[in-house]
Structure 1
């Protein structure tokens, strides 16, 4: 996962519905992203038990991980599953690839509660042209398989938007407008990776740490009638304004990643990670100034992943150690 700028929950019993359960949008929910780029991580079955023992009812995986899918079967844990970025070209150009992908990775696991499929994660460069046709082919394949209740989207980072204050948000990338309008036509949410950490460390001259950590004592940004006391809300509402500007104001946002590193960089400490993630859990049931109501949110990540490349912080987002012990106390 490339990240630049930018969980027990009070989840309704709907999560316990059976195979391919469709769970109502707007239910307050906190999930955790499950990455596997680390040494000595637990088996998938033990990971699923760790989710269940902590009351974490939502998971995101970044490719069709057969071991994870088998372990999730029958658990009622709601799932976001990604189409790997490397498969976008094939899925965009070949409807039969999408059909085969659905057969192998969705239909083969009828006991898994799929919520969304993310067609790529933070796709960049020339590959962005594949996102929308791949989404369309995947939607058709799911519909043909009788699985049209599984919503198809893509996961984007904050830098697909521009503008300040949040009410002035627009998409900075031209490919996003058609994607937003397509999501509005299908009723699917936009999956957004929202990282106040990267926004803060990229602009410390203008952004305070307490604004990024949900600890500011009062309003930091006044935007018309909306008062912003934390950066997370500002980033989400900038994305909502961009959707409105693109003619897709009915599209909901699911925060498909958010977190704070415990080591490896500026302001990356166990204390700050604990503060951010606990405050995030406590906050997302309230919604944002622009869109009150629960925000479905996935914390990145379940484990520290020592095989991750990129900045040193990439290896230090975990809530748990490889042995299953908490990296720091969190009240789900």
Structure 2
């Protein structure tokens, strides 16, 4: 109670008097030395603006429940010379303003696969930047683990019979699976993505259909495997409406380091009018599967698969969160 009383007195009397004294001193300085005072005030104003801007950015990034929504909106912005009515009407029809075209579902599939890979890279960046926290909110030195285990990256491996034989032979001969992949990367037969700025990621249009994505985090035992032939499907609104009842929307709770904050879609808006939700991306991947099981294609792993559905904008970009998921895949019937 004593410190509460002191705080109230300070806010009520001391701070206003101190502020008035500072203002009086600044005015006296301005009268005595007008030119230096002018530059001093301008400098202080710039510093305050920069500090305020950085603080607002931090609050927006860490606290806004609409952060991922706003990020997605920026990927397909409204042109300045287009009316709001035309903007919303063409959005509902599936128009991508950024690329100035309507995409087919097949074209959106390639776009969404690249965006899905970008989501994995976004998650990995939290590990590289030591932003992962434990239950006590202490930051962990995860960057060291990423470097030590050659982890926190995404591998894109085009598949063909020769390559499948090569990978399987490495396992059967007790060789190092990751060294085998490094050989493929060295000969430009596979790619490794660490950051979204990587040129091989930026320049890759993901036009191939027959490949796998391996999402590897700092733990060498952790693998998420996406087979492009079976993992991912673009759905239109009608197709999604038939499946919607099997899914739950995930917008809060601990998920992974990158997506643990609350994330929501603004209420009381027609998301289709903003070019989002005309299409959905149904994603299925093997979770915590071992390398041996992955190469052997062990069908017993199927019930352990994770299934999620992401909202897409009309340009094929994924809304990172919120997303839909199946609470129990074993009970799911397509």
Q: Please report the TM-score for the alignment, with normalisation by the length of structure 2.
A: 0.25
Identify, as 1 or 2, the structure richer in helix. Answer: 2
Pick the structure with greater CA Rg: 2
Give the TM-score, by structure 1 length.
0.25
